Amino acid sequence: MAYHQNEEESMKPVLDPASGSRMFYFDRDDSRVLFGDIRSEEHVLRDGRALSITPDVVMDFRQLPFEDETFKVVVFDPPHLSNVGGKAWIGKKYGRLGLNWGDDLRAGFAECFRVLEPFGILIFKWNETQIPVSKILALTDERPLIGHKSGKQMNTHWITFMKAGEEDKNGEPGEGLAPVLQSAE
């Protein structure tokens, strides 16, 4: 079933297809962003805080319901935990990867780049507590532009990609990824 953006959604230049509780946004209701997630749910965490996952559109990042080259920016912060209990609060907060997480994330990258305009920006966030970022970057042929490690343990990586334009596509896919993957470890 095809999804059709309404006029307000089609005016938004930014897509976040796995926004969860929108925890890193300065404005969790930023009108420039179309917030999506596969989940729409409410929880109360162990410390009594409410956790609200309320996407503008329920969507699966592996199969985005948008036309090619629709967005100027895509923010991709998929679940990063493959080993988490069914009732664990951290799984509720960050989501869970399935058994086929490599295939899922490969499809997610492909979809994010598909809906991104030429020369558009993909901002990718990954916490390598369980899966090294080098394994994740190997799931896309796109070359990262810049990256930054953050957090107490320096386990969270913020990586920015720029989608190639037509005149930029003269190299082989994945060309130059080996040094990037080695430096990410």
- Residue 177: per-residue pLDDT: 46
d(C-alpha 11, C-alpha 116), whole Å: 14
Q: Which fold has domain 7-184?
A: Rossmann fold (3.40.50)
d(C-alpha 62, C-alpha 91), whole Å: 19
Does the structure show a pLDDT above 70 at 181?
no
Percent of the chain scored above 70 by pLDDT? Answer: 84
d(C-alpha 134, C-alpha 125), whole Å: 13
d(C-alpha 59, C-alpha 53), whole Å: 13
pTM of the model: 0.83
Mean predicted confidence (pLDDT) in 98-123 = 97
Give strand ranges (E) for the chain.
14-16, 33-37, 41-44, 50-53, 57-58, 71-76, 116-127, 144-150, 156-162
d(C-alpha 141, C-alpha 132), whole Å: 17
The region of weakest confidence among 3-17, 74-88, 126-140 is 3-17
Tell how strand 50-53 and strand 41-44 pair up: antiparallel
In 31-66, which positions are buried (b, 16+ CB within 10 angstroms) versus exposed (e)?
A: eebbbbbbeeeeeeeeeeeeeebebbbebbbbebbb
Instruction: Give the H or E element holding residue 9.
Output: helix 7-10
54-104 pLDDT, tens digit per residue, is 999 999 999 999 999 999 999 999 999 888 877 777 777 888 898 999 999
Mean predicted confidence (pLDDT) in 37-44 = 90
